[in-house]
Structure 1
Amino acid sequence: MPLAADLRSLVTAVESRTPAHRDRAVDGLRALALLSVPAGHWLVGGFTLDDAGALHNASPLAALGALAPASWVFQLLGIFFLVGGYSAALSLRRATERGTAARTWLRGRLVRLGRPVLGVTAGWAALLPLLSVAGVPAATLRTASVLVVQPLWFVGVYAVITALTPHALRAAERAGLWSALPLLLSVAVVDALRYGPYADAMPSWLPLLNLLPGWLFGYQLGLVWGVGRLGRRAAAWLLLGGGLALFVTLLTVFGYPASMVGVPGEARTNSHPPSLLVLALAAAQSGVAVLARERLAALLARPALWAPVVVINLSAMTILCWHQSAMLAAAIPAAALHGDAAVAGLTADPTSFGWVAARLAWLPLFAVLLIGIGALTRRFEQPWTGASTGGRILAGALAGAFSLYAFAVV
């Protein structure tokens, strides 16, 4: 069959072009963390329909609290930051050995992060007026904008953390695993203030102090791993055991919410900004990742398993930026075609386990739509060498317009 032959050819080509020194385990961990983002958002990203047939965001976690432990599996941002820090440590060291300034290395990294964000925001700025003319309700467009910008906060935080890499790397080289401890303690102090007996007297902006140290924690562990200070199994077991112990204590003794993502109607959240529970989970996940590294590398030595990992890694930012658009590409037409008649698992209220079963059936379609969208938009991950000055200015203007609109509705 032609398709099978093409796939075999792709697998062979990827294997032949993979350098012998490539760390397949780290790439595999990154691919796993990347796929958890769309999978998690697609499973908790429900909709409701109003009388006008407009879509509004809803979450099954609001009605189905028993699903909260599933978020422990899909919340793999700790792994993502871990491998990000690990890769950054190696990349910056190689750049320094070549004589490349840290400022130049950093500029290249930030440009690679920024191009896909510019692409998705400019794309939606052009799409929104077309959808409006086509009769899509304004409320649906607002809902779509919220979903599109939802993953982009992650890119912004990651960019700030990337900018801190030279300083954080020096700390990792000097103090090893201890360099992550101040970040953990900082989040613990803020949590004690915002959830303690004097919480009512605390300023509303206090939780924002957790934003940087909360997400930098996993990245710092990755830097420590990258400089060779986290390779011993004892250190990995310490992270796994300590993280699990802290996780269980926070849940059972201190009453932290079980869900790792925000739940509509709940006063407390673990993710926006991150609470100490997020760091505990990240520590445990990092311990597992280090312990599983050799077995994962052996597994990915098989070309048929390695090729998908390479494809996913090459499309990392496309997946992050466009996966919500794939879900909307199914939900918006469904709402338009069926009016106020809800479609199970897609536009129906996410209030039952039947909805969960129906949503699982929709996931393959979302994946196919994301692949199709990615085929058109992955060019934003590549250098814009052929783009004219006018084209770049237009893209920037469209992205700015969408940003203003999204800021107003979010």
Structure 2
Amino acid sequence: MRRLRQLAERTPAGRERYVDLLRALAIVMVVLGHWAVAAISEDPTGRPTARSALPDLPWAYPLTWVAQVMPVFFLVGGYANAASLASRRAAGGDAVSWLLDRGARLLRPTTALLLVIAAGAAVASLAGVEATLVRTVGWFATIPLWFLAAYLVVVPLAPAMYALHRRFGLLVPLALAALVAAGDLGRALGPAELALPNYVFGWLAVHQLGFAWRDARAEPATEPPGRHNAPASRGVRTRRLPLSRRAGGAALLGGLAATVLLTAGPYPVSMLNVPGERLDNAAPPSLALLTLTTAQLGLILLLRDPAERWLRRSRPWQAVIAVNAVVLTVFLWHLIAAILLVGALDAAGLLPTPPVGSAAWLAWRVPWVLMLTVVLAALVAAFGPVEARTGPTGRPRHGGRADGSAAPPGRPRGDGRADGRRWRATARGGLAAAGFAAVVYALVVNAETPRSAPEPLGVPASALVAYLAGAGVLRLLRSGWGSRG
């Protein structure tokens, strides 16, 4: 508690605390949503199995408009990435060092998860558990990684997309939304694969809105030096998101109206995956999800002022700090908590399997969520420090001092040494890109491998090797390897 109090007291006055609250709320809602819709039953052999209850609960489809909060995470991610990137550049750092630090916050807790899953699966396989059953458990435990794969594509693109934002403002997300609509059209008229680019275009569009929010809040003194610091344009080329209550109300009503029209037509009502539906609004993101994002953004703006006032109080802000310190750990381990609880209740002969939608099933949601919270709390206590200890490298880059100020000018260096520095910087950037590509490839391979595939490590061996290789390269680069010659 003393540490949280100290962190709260050191919070800069200009920090947008609301962004941190939204990040914490988004992850908590994802966790509660997954737990709430889990339908536990038994397969023909008597073993417990799980599926989504949504196909049996059509009355709950409109509730997914609130439960689908992945756009909120990309929105606040855009804000945070713009703020940290601008700060790093103002201190003399480069985009690669920024990217390596952002990647470490994501990959360290993910690596811990995958290693624990692989180790547990290997032990189970050696004990004689069927490889298909091992994979089923591993598949369920790694469901959250589909989101991480998408985010690990967006983050490396952030420096380039922020440059586009500084030049074209809100025209960028509008153009990306048009590309999403084209992808939806291709999905409707041709192979579903025509919409795969929407995984990038859709989440990038939401991420760009976070840039615009940050620029609307940034003080001129915090802007990094550069040629893009001219006053923001007006109209759709503005770089600043309108933050007024009037703008929030317009976005809320307009977004809701557009979403109602789209879901009354070719798009499903549910914003979460429903097996058997004609398409999934979130995988990949559809135009209907983007109009819903507009409505969610409007609601966020309407609640912003009272939320900021509430977060000026010490205890609420300390709670937000505490959740954000382990927010990715909570997200990554919440389904393992479900696996452990189901296994324990089944072993004890106390696992209830009431029909989905029945009064008994609905009543079981309360103790189910409470017990899962206890299990997850224990997992976070064990693995949360892996995430909480991850911080920026703190090294000066390109001749800067550790405090971020520029080094004093010295003797001019020869062209050969300058060429060497440029070559090393290019090689370092290429290796970082390769590391991220390997990690994303691994997560996609795992997501695409069927849940019934015989995988004695729980995840495909090729995916595990690619992930560890990519994460290892990024770790070496972050330690300073290859930055000196």
Q: TM-score range by the shorter chain?
A: 0.7 to 0.9
The residue identity in structure 2 corresponding to 1:70 is L
User: What residue identity is the alignment partner of 2:459?
Assistant: S
The aligned residue for residue 326 of structure 2 is 315
- C-alpha separation in 1, matches of 2:152 and 2:82: 15
Q: Residue 62 of structure 2: which of 69, 83, 94 is its match? A: 69
Within a 5 Å distance, the mapping from 1:129-140 to structure 2 comes to 129-131=122-124, 140=133
**Contact 1:78-1:286 within 8 A present in 2 as well:** no
CA distance 1:135–1:309, change in 2 (3 Å): farther
Distance 1:384 1:192, change over 3 A: closer
- The answer to which of 277-286 and 124-133 deviates more is 124-133
SS in 2 for 1:150: coil
Q: Report whether the alignment pairs 1:373 with 2:429.
A: no
Change in 2 beyond 3 A, CA 1:64/1:219: same
In 2 relative to 1, CA 56–138 (structure 1 residues): closer, same or farther, beyond 3 Å?
Answer: farther
Distance 2:177 2:249 in 1: 18
- Separation in 2 of the partners of 1:302 and 1:137? 53
Higher relative contact order (CA 8 A, sep 6+): 1
Structure 1 residue 205, shift from structure 2 partner: 1.3
What one-letter code is carried by the residue in structure 2 that aligns with 1:257?
P
The answer for the alignment partner of 1:390 in structure 2 is none
Task: Confirm or deny that 1:404 pairs with 2:415.
Answer: no
- Displacement, 1:176? 2.3
Q: Matched residues in 1 for 2:242 and 2:35: separation?
A: 35
Q: Find out whether 1:305 has 2:311 as its counterpart.
A: no
Q: Note the 1:8-407 alignment, pairs <5 A.
A: 12-131=5-124, 140-195=133-188, 199=189, 202-228=190-216, 229-233=240-244, 234-252=246-264, 254-338=265-349, 343-344=351-352, 347-381=353-387, 382-383=389-390, 401-404=457-460
Query: How far did 1:144 drift?
Result: 2.2
SS in 2 for 1:58: strand
Contact 1:240 1:286 in 2 (8 A): yes
Q: TM-score scaled by structure 2?
A: 0.72
Normalised to the residue count of structure 1, the TM-score between the two structures is: 0.85
Answer whether contact 1:211 1:274 (CA < 8 A) is retained: yes
Q: Max radius of gyration: which structure?
A: 2
Q: Which amino acid aligns with 1:313?
A: N
| Partner residue, 1:391 | none
Distance 1:26 1:116 in 2: 22
User: Within 2, Cα distance between the matches of 1:266 and 1:137?
Assistant: 32
Q: CA deviation at 1:207?
A: 2.2
Q: Which residue of the partner structure matches residue 3 of structure 1?
A: none
Structure 1 position 137, deviation (Å): 6.7
Evaluate the alpha carbon distance shift between residue 242 and residue 176 of structure 1 in structure 2; reply closer, same or farther with a 3 A threshold.
farther
Matches of 1:256 and 1:354, distance apart in 2: 32
Q: What corresponds to 1:393 in structure 2?
A: none
Task: Give the distance between the partners of 1:237 and 1:177, measured in 2 at CA.
Answer: 19
CA distance in 2, matches of 1:269, 1:153: 14
- Conserved in 1, the CA contact under 8 Å of 2:105 and 2:391? no
Distance 1:180 1:281 in 2: 14
Cα shift at 1:248: 0.8
What SS class does the counterpart of residue 57 from structure 1 fall into?
A: strand
* Cα distance between partner residues in 2 of 1:135 and 1:70: 43
Structure 2: stretches of 5+ with no match in the other structure: 217-239, 393-438, 447-456, 465-485
Moved over 6 A (4+): 133-137
Cα gap change, 1:297 to 1:231, in 2 (>3 Å) = same
Q: Which amino acid aligns with 1:377?
A: F
Give the SS at the match of 1:56.
strand
| Cα distance between partner residues in 1 of 2:135 and 2:362 | 24
Structure 1 337/70 Cα, relative in aligned 2: closer, same or farther at 3 Å? same
2: CA distance, partners of 1:99 / 1:305 = 34
Structure 1's 44 and 305: CA in aligned 2 closer, same or farther, altered over 3 A?
Answer: same
Q: 1:103 to 1:372 in 2, by over 3 A?
A: same
Are 1:322 and 1:373, in contact at CA under 8 Å, matched by a contact in 2?
yes
For 2:365, the aligned partner's letter is: R
**More displaced stretch, 99-108 vs 231-240:** 231-240
Distance 1:257 1:33, change over 3 A: same
Deviation per residue, 1:29-81 (Å, 9 max, x gap): 11111111111111122222113232323121111111112211211111111
Superposed displacement of residue 16, structure 1: 2.7
Residue identity matched to 2:89: T
* Structure 1 residue 109 displacement after superposition: 0.7
Deviations 1:213-248 (A, max 9, x none): 111121111011112201442544443233212111
- Counterpart secondary structure, 1:205: helix
Distance 1:226-1:257 versus aligned 2 partners, 3 A rule? same
| CA deviation after TM superposition for structure 1 residue 13, in Å | 4.0
Query: Pairwise CA RMSD of aligned residues?
Result: 2.6
Q: Deviations over 1:314-346 (max 9, x none)?
A: 1111012111111111111222332xxx833xx
